[in-house]
Amino acid sequence: RKEVEQDPGPFNVPEGATVAFNCTYSNSASQSFFWYRQDCRKEPKLLMSVYSSGNEDGRFTAQLNRASQYISLLIRDSKLSDSATYLCVVRDGYSTLTFGKGTMLLVSP
Amino acid sequence: EPEVTQTPSHQVTQMGQEVILRCVPISNHLYFYWYRQILGQKVEFLVSFYNNEISEKSEIFDDQFSVERPDGSNFTLKIRSTKLEDSAMYFCASSEAVGKETQYFGPGTRLLVL
């Protein structure tokens, strides 16, 4: 069974803090990796793809360790608007996305 | 910015009734998907669709489910005889291609089966 595991949180941080989320996946044949964010009762929205070499998009940095089957997301200088659930997502099959249950982030003033 | 749209936003139905959930994918996209999210649980893949046929489906997508692209714009999910456990948010998604291409999600239809 293909699984993606995440710490459900919530992570409570003050504005300006740096916060890191981790994720592990079970299928060593997984091909593509993503972080999505989901606001309460809304659809998942792509935050960033995750590449083997690591990649950065503004305040967000994603890392992938294929040997350990481990993905991370680092958010620097947290904003109130970053409050959401962060979903670790893995593409296993031809098109299938497997989602983690998500890690909730609450950023407070 | 182009987006995936879904109707209705909410649907309440009686157990045993048929429901059809509708989606309009992004216009130049060729691959279409349905996912569901039971309240408090993770998003789960149901089915992918390309070139008028199912590409992949999960074990959730049993005989009571079907998908169709009845015209050039709509993509539908039909649940033939709804059960209480079908209550969930159903998301449609589309992508330009398979592989590394991003899947863009619609706002979802919240289905409540009574």
Give residue-wise pLDDT tens across range B72-100: 789 999 999 999 999 999 999 999 876 65
Chain B residues in contact with A97 (beta carbon < 8 A): 33, 35, 43, 45, 103
Task: Report yes or no: B3 at the A interface, CB cutoff 8 Å.
Answer: no
Residue A64: strand, helix, or coil = strand
Task: Convert the pLDDT of each residue in B26-48 to its tens digit.
Answer: 998 989 999 999 999 999 999 99
Task: List chain B residues with CB under 8 Å of A100.
Answer: 42
Per-residue pLDDT of chain A (109 residues; tens, 9 = 90+): 679 999 989 999 999 999 999 999 998 888 889 999 999 989 999 999 998 888 999 999 999 999 999 999 999 999 999 999 999 999 987 778 999 999 999 999 9
Q: Which of A41, A46, A98 sits opposite B45 (nearest CB)?
A: A98
Token representation of residue B54:
């199912």
Structural contact between residues A87 and B35, judged by C-beta atoms closer than 8 angstroms: no
Residues of chain A with Cβ-Cβ distance to B58 below 8 Å are: 96
Strand ranges in B1-114 using DSSP code E only, listed in sequence order: 5-7, 10-13, 19-24, 31-37, 43-50, 53-57, 65-68, 75-79, 88-95, 104-105, 109-113
Q: Computed from CA positions of residues A87, B56, B2, B38, in that sequence, does the dihedral angle turn out positive or negative? A: negative
